[in-house]
Amino acid sequence: MRHGKYRFIVGFLALPLGLYALFVVWPFIQSVYYSFTDWTGLSPDFKMVGFDNYERMLDDGIFWKSLRHSLLFALVLPVVTLALALFFAFMINVGGRRRKGGPAISGVRGSAFYKIVYFFPQVLSIAIVSLLFAFAYNPDSGAINSLLRGIGLDGVQPLWLGDPDLALWCVMAVLVWSTVGFFVVLFSAGMASIPAELYEAALLDGANRATTFFRVTLPLLWDTVQSGWVYLGILALGAESFAVVQIMTTGPGGPDYSTTVMVLYVYQKAFRDGQAAYATTIGVALLVVTLAFAAIVMRLGRRERLEF
Amino acid sequence: MKTTETPAPPPAESGATVHKTDRHPAARRPSGRQREGTVLNVFSHGVLVIWAIMVVMPLVWAVMTSFKDDGSIFGSPWSLPDRLHFDNWARAWTDAHMSDYFLNTVLVVGGSLVGTLVLGSMAAYVLARFDFPGNRFVYYLFVGGMSFPVMLALVPLFYVVNNMGLLNTIHGLILVYIAYSLPFTVFFLTAFFRTLPTSVAEAAFVDGASHTRTFFQVMLPMAKPGLISVGIFNFLGQWNQYMLPTVLNTDPDKKVLTQGLVQLAVSQGYKGDWSGLFAGLVMAMLPVLAAYIVFQRQVVQGLTAGALK
């Protein structure tokens, strides 16, 4: 494996690495640089302004709102999604009716069906899902309020996305709806690979199902849960929350900035308001938040790896 | 097997603790234990069915709505269509340009999927199999891209793409899709190439095949399962992509499905053709859902493969 090795390596790496450097790495570096300028994005002229953009950001009330919402997304979405997914996966795997002589723990009937259905949202575009729910949330003719009317709850007709106190939760619910299924399938596969003897031993020792879940299932799945946590957090700070907020909310980001998130604010500053340099400043803040989030989750979640 | 021979556990200390483990339910507190199991079973099914309904209902509602006329969409959102208004679908396909959006999406995703797999496997193969200075650096450069917020890069990227004359072009979008698909693809395929045996490639090499030929004729065919997994992952990611085209592809004639539908929703506010819009939504959902149901096992494997690594 010697002759022409380096020529081969360079030849094979040149194209992918070149493309990646030009379209991904270089813009990242540039945007950090631009955050110290007064570039508008509309004209090619700009000059260095030091930390002006950063000072402006710290005084920008909308920035703080978007930061708070983004953090809320990154905290709530993973917790709710992972908790629901673990619960459903546990039900799928242990909720089966006991058969005489069968294993101590068995999956529910139709578990394959549940897993297929739960996975539906995962294959749909978040843009399409957002549109669908934007209609469902419509206070007058949407599916949700008319369903409420249909079951006699005429008095309960929230404005959903039009209510500043509710809008953010409505948006978050859509993200939960679209991400739970994937993790049910993922955790279910993980649970199925846990040896049945471990459950049986725990049950023989007098543990009930809740204890079994917290003492056996969860520790053995911890690695998967943790990477899911990081993955969902990055999702909640980035592309997915951009799509749901931009498509579903009025403004977008409204009403009254009640749903604006950092990634949307970057987009609006750069491509709507012609303040590209300031947009990259907020983008840098988003980068810091994302990396800090990942670092904290990895750090807090560190445990001894359990082998089985 | 051996568990069935295990003697039944001693009775629990506290009466509240419930054993569902008892191997001989008939021997002790038979009815209570069995009822416990049944309660849990009913509860499990109850919860699982509710979530299944919550997942399916919005989709069924969308399909139903796509066959109704505008009046009944607003008047009675949950009623069945009075008759199947197939004209909604026809209108969406032609007047609302869904056919163009489909074509654009197919072109963009087709091009970028092939490009991603070819370039990604080339880079991953070199990184997995060859020792050279900077190998680790290049690898982490690629992998690091997975955790960076893409929006940060999109601001300058817009101008990079614009200066190259690639803004609002199909091939420009393809190149950007490939670049942003590389981090996961390289990460996944590098791990995959490492698991393949080295002996076959070495044999081919000894027989006089060049590195390039060894790669294309020996390694790529061996890596097929990995390529299928990562291919499905990228196909869905690129087909459903919304943020990249929203920023880089603003020409109405070049729009892809996702942004075309959003555009349609915004403009429908003025034109009022909601039934056509729902037809468009369902049109965009159905192929992916159908493909998923047919290739269910492969899709799940492809999408979960990365997370289980």
A15 → closest Cβ in B119, B152, B180: B119
- Within 8 A of A238 by CB-CB distance, chain B residues are 149-151
Express each pLDDT in B71-117 by its tens digit. 777 767 677 777 777 787 888 787 778 888 889 999 999 999 999 99
Residue A4 at interface with chain B, using a CB cutoff of 8 Å: yes
Phi, psi of A48 (to 5 degrees): -75, 140
Q: What is the CA radius of gyration of chain B?
A: 27
Q: Is B25 helix (H, G, I), strand (E, B) or coil?
A: coil
The pLDDT confidence band at residue A78, using thresholds 50, 70 and 90, is very high
Query: Which residue's structure tokens are 């056996």?
Result: A216
Nearest to B132 by CA among A75, A10, A23: A10
The pLDDT confidence band at residue B271, using thresholds 50, 70 and 90, is low
B51 vs A134: CA distance, rounded Å = 20
B22 vs B14: CA distance, rounded Å = 16
Instruction: Find the helix packing angle between A262-271 and A61-94, rounded to 10°.
Output: 140
> How many Cβ pairs closer than 8 A exist between chain A and B?
305
The pLDDT confidence band at residue A97, using thresholds 50, 70 and 90, is low
At residue A82, the pLDDT reads: 93
Best residue in A17, A42, A288 for a mutation probing chain B (most B CBs within 10 Å): A17
Q: Tell me the mean pLDDT in the region B262-286.
A: 79
Residue B16 pLDDT > 50: no
B20 → closest Cβ in A5, A120, A209: A209
Residue A15 at interface with chain B, using a CB cutoff of 8 Å: yes
Both tokens of B30, joined, read: 């038979």
A-contacting residues in B 269-288 (Cβ below 8 Å) = 278, 281, 284-285, 288
Subunit contact A16:B12, Cβ cutoff 8 A = no
Query: Which residue's structure tokens are 């810091």?
Result: A288
Subunit contact B152:A87, Cβ cutoff 8 A = no
Nearest to A247 by CA among A160, A135, A152, A144: A135
A237 → closest Cβ in B6, B149, B307: B149
Q: How far does CA A287 lie from the centroid of its chain?
A: 15
Both tokens of B17, joined, read: 């603790």
Contact present, B283 and B271 (Cβ < 8 Å): no
Q: Is A48 helix (H, G, I), strand (E, B) or coil?
A: strand
Sign for the CA dihedral angle at B96, B100, B103, B105 comes to: negative
Residue B37 pLDDT > 70: no
Best residue in B4, B17, B21, B178 for a mutation probing chain A (most A CBs within 10 Å): B21
Best residue in B66, B155, B220, B235 for a mutation probing chain A (most A CBs within 10 Å): B155
Every domain of chain B and the residues it spans:
103-251
Contact present, B193 and B124 (Cβ < 8 Å): yes
pTM of the model: 0.84
Both tokens of B308, joined, read: 């289980």
Residue A99 pLDDT > 80: no
Q: How far does CA A242 lie from the centroid of its chain?
A: 11
Residue B2 pLDDT > 50: no
Express each pLDDT in B146-175 by its tens digit. 888 888 888 889 888 888 888 888 888 999
- Within 8 A of B261 by CB-CB distance, chain A residues are 127-128, 131
A71 vs A74: CA distance, rounded Å = 5
Express each pLDDT in A159-177 by its tens digit. 888 888 888 899 999 999 9
Residue B28 pLDDT > 50: no
A71 vs A290: CA distance, rounded Å = 10
At residue B123, the pLDDT reads: 92
Residue B215 at interface with chain A, using a CB cutoff of 8 Å: yes
> Quick one: closest CA in B to A283, which residue?
B152
Least confident of A58-72, A112-126, A245-259: A245-259
- Within 8 A of B34 by CB-CB distance, chain A residues are 98
B285 → closest Cβ in A25, A124, A147: A124
Residue A39 at interface with chain B, using a CB cutoff of 8 Å: no
The pLDDT confidence band at residue B23, using thresholds 50, 70 and 90, is very low
Subunit contact B44:A227, Cβ cutoff 8 A = no
Subunit contact A286:B285, Cβ cutoff 8 A = no
Residue B25 pLDDT > 90: no
Residue B43 pLDDT > 60: yes
Phi, psi of A242 (to 5 degrees): -60, -50
A294 vs A274: CA distance, rounded Å = 31
A126 vs A120: CA distance, rounded Å = 12
- Within 8 A of B126 by CB-CB distance, chain A residues are 8-9, 12-13
A192 vs A195: CA distance, rounded Å = 8
CATH class of B103-251: mainly alpha
B155 → closest Cβ in A103, A150, A276: A276
Subunit contact A16:B3, Cβ cutoff 8 A = no
Indicate the average pLDDT of chain A. Answer: 84
Residue A122 at interface with chain B, using a CB cutoff of 8 Å: yes
- The nearest CA of chain B is from the CA of A41 a distance in Å of 8
> Quick one: closest CA in B to A247, which residue?
B262
Q: Tell me the mean pLDDT in the region A84-108.
A: 76
A40 vs B296: CA distance, rounded Å = 48
Subunit contact A271:B54, Cβ cutoff 8 A = no
Nearest to B153 by CA among A122, A286, A151: A286
- Within 8 A of A290 by CB-CB distance, chain B residues are 147-149
SS3 letters across A210-269: HHHHHHHHHHHHHHHHHHHHHHHHHHHHCHHHHHHHHHHCCCCCCCCCCCCCHHHHHHHH
Subunit contact A95:B126, Cβ cutoff 8 A = no
A31, amino acid identity:
S
B-contacting residues in A 159-188 (Cβ below 8 Å) = 177, 180-182, 185-186
Which DSSP category does B167 fall into? T
A121 → closest Cβ in B20, B34, B55: B55
Both tokens of A266, joined, read: 């970057």
Q: Which helix (H) or strand (E) holds A257?
A: none
Burial class (CB in 10 A: 0-12, 13-18, 19+), B63: middle
Q: Tell me the mean pLDDT in the region A84-105.
A: 76
B287 vs B294: CA distance, rounded Å = 11
The pLDDT confidence band at residue B309, using thresholds 50, 70 and 90, is very low
Contact present, A57 and A63 (Cβ < 8 Å): yes
Residue A43 at interface with chain B, using a CB cutoff of 8 Å: no
At residue A8, the pLDDT reads: 84
- The nearest CA of chain A is from the CA of B194 a distance in Å of 16
- Residues facing residue A37 across a β-bridge: A48
Question: Domains, chain A, ranges and CATH?
Answer: 62-300 (1.10.3720.10)
- The nearest CA of chain B is from the CA of A300 a distance in Å of 18
The pLDDT confidence band at residue B9, using thresholds 50, 70 and 90, is very low
